[in-house]
Structure 1
Amino acid sequence: MSESPSTSGSPGASDRPILAFFDVDNTLMRGTSLFQLGREAWRKHVIRFRDVALFAWHQRRFIAVGENDDHLRTAREKALGLVGGHTQAEILELAEAIWEDRIRPRLYPETVELTQEHVAKGHEVWLVSATPWEIGDLIARRLNLTGALGTRIEVVDGVYTGELIGHVLHAERKATAVAELAVAAGADLADSWAYSDSRNDIPLLEMVGHPVVVNPDAALAHHARECGWPVLRMSPASMREAARRVRRDARAVKKGVKKNTRRA
């Protein structure tokens, strides 16, 4: 379904909602958001030092070599271990506490600016990540985006059980969740955009009409070259071109078209 943005249809206004999806870790922010939650949980004595030390090791590994299946399995185990037995209010308070000192300084201003280019076009902008939904929702709210899709953990009587609702939102499952959201919103994926750094998001990138890779890992960089997808680097020239591409190629949503305000 995907095609180069420069060869897509007219950028004129659309009657249908247009969606833009942004991965979080190493696309919207440097490193892993889950690690930052772990650090705050350790600081507040929710988890032990050896737990946050393991978080730190995976944070360094992730930045150095990118996302991999071992990383995702460990992230899943750590996320479940972190919240199991704790109240939802307690974990939401932790998430809010990390915004100013741990999340906001690590956001890439260039990618944040791209989210705002889409907002200016009237698009729905969704964060899509394997990280717990609570973190993605926090970032989406703070940046005034539409909402977030993320891994969900069961809550019973206000307490996390440590059991997943469904699966970790990763690879093909992330693509499936995006497809379901597009159907619910009445959006055409041919008009949609997706941004990611990871080869694991190839299924998502291939679904949309406007796939864009950001600081890609080696496998995604190779795939992007073969497909002719735009590749963004965190350089002023690259990001200026990305912003121009959105202004030029992204259809605007007509005034009066009701935007989806669900936070998923």
Structure 2
Amino acid sequence: MSLAIFDLDNTLIADDSDFLWGQFLVDRGIVDKDQYEQANKKFYEDYKHGTLDIVEFLHFSLAPLAQYDAEQLYRWRAEFVETLIEPIMLEAAQALVEKHRAAGDTLLVITATNRFVTEPIVKLYGIDNLLATTPEFIDGRYTGKFNGTPCFQQGKVAQLNDWLANSTETLAGSWFYSDSHNDLPLLSLVDKPVAVDPDEKLREVAQKANWPIISLRK
């Protein structure tokens, strides 16, 4: 039995949930279309190029949560998951998760997208363990701020190490599945890194390191 770690966006699902949530807010008129949509696209391009300022992005992406009460946000989130996420869930990804579950492995998703967006998505795959940036929640409302270390690049390693320190799990025999070069710090840490439908930079690194390269899209 080992630890099987999965990235979420463009790994277990066929798109980026953070970007899609922003587009959902735009399409529903919840945020200003021109200003928010342009910034959302720019941040996503920065992410793909490895130049994202994660703190700046989190201030941007979490700000709408502070503008509405939690129950309204949860209703919008349920609609978002049903209409935009369920159609991009991947049968091959679910099969991979079930393969590790059947082997007795501990399942963990670690994602740069915040917990508010990702928690219900991860539950759709039947995975109980999630590491993600946690939006601050005080007196029944989101504040637009976040707690702790952003779960991005080296921050994923930091969050994982904290989680391991408070569990009985180890990295012996561990797996990590990811599509993004932003995850190279964590891919380099586990025993069995796997590039999943990788971006160009990750594919190049994986080929040089002889890491497995797989697709969950076919």
Post-superposition Cα deviations, 1:205-252, rounded to whole Å, max 9, x if no partner, equal 11211111111122211221222110113465xxxxxxxxxxxxxxxx
Structure 1: state its 5+ residue gaps.
1-13, 237-264
- More displaced stretch, 43-52 vs 222-231: 43-52
Given the alignment, which residue of 34, 38, 42 partners 1:50?
34
Which among 106, 111, 115 is matched to residue 133 of structure 1? 115
One-letter code of the match for 2:116? E
For the aligned residue pairs, the C-alpha RMSD in angstroms reads 2.5
State how 1:70-219 maps to structure 2 within 5 Å.
70=52, 72=54, 75-219=57-201
AA aligned to 2:204 is H
Q: Which runs of 5+ in 2 are unaligned?
A: none
Provide the rounded CA distance (Å) in 2 between the counterparts of 1:51 and 1:142.
32
Is 1:31 matched with 2:15? yes
Instruction: Provide the identity percentage.
Output: 25
SS at match of 2:111: strand
Q: CA deviation at 1:88?
A: 3.0
Q: What is the deviation of 1:187?
A: 1.2
Partner of 1:249: none
Q: Does 1:41 align with 2:25?
A: yes
Which protein shows a greater Rg?
1
Say whether residues 1:232 and 2:190 are aligned partners.
no
CA drift of 1:128 comes to 1.1
* Matched residue count: 218
* Structure with higher RCO (Cα < 8 A, 6+ apart): 1
Normalised TM-score (structure 1): 0.73
Q: Following TM superposition, by how much is the alpha carbon of 1:102 offset from its aligned partner in structure 2, in angstroms?
A: 0.3
Between 35-44 and 118-127, report the one with greater CA deviation. Answer: 35-44
> Is it true that 1:69 corresponds to 2:55 in the alignment?
no
- In the alignment, residue 116 of structure 1 is paired with which amino acid? E
Equivalent residue of 2:113, what SS? strand
Structure 1 residue matching 2:132: 3-state secondary structure: strand
Q: How far, CA to CA, are the matches of 1:162 and 1:59 in structure 2?
A: 17
Deviation at 1:116, TM superposition (A): 1.7
CA displacement, residues 136-172 of structure 1 (integer Å, 9 cap, x when unaligned): 2111212211231111111111111111212321011
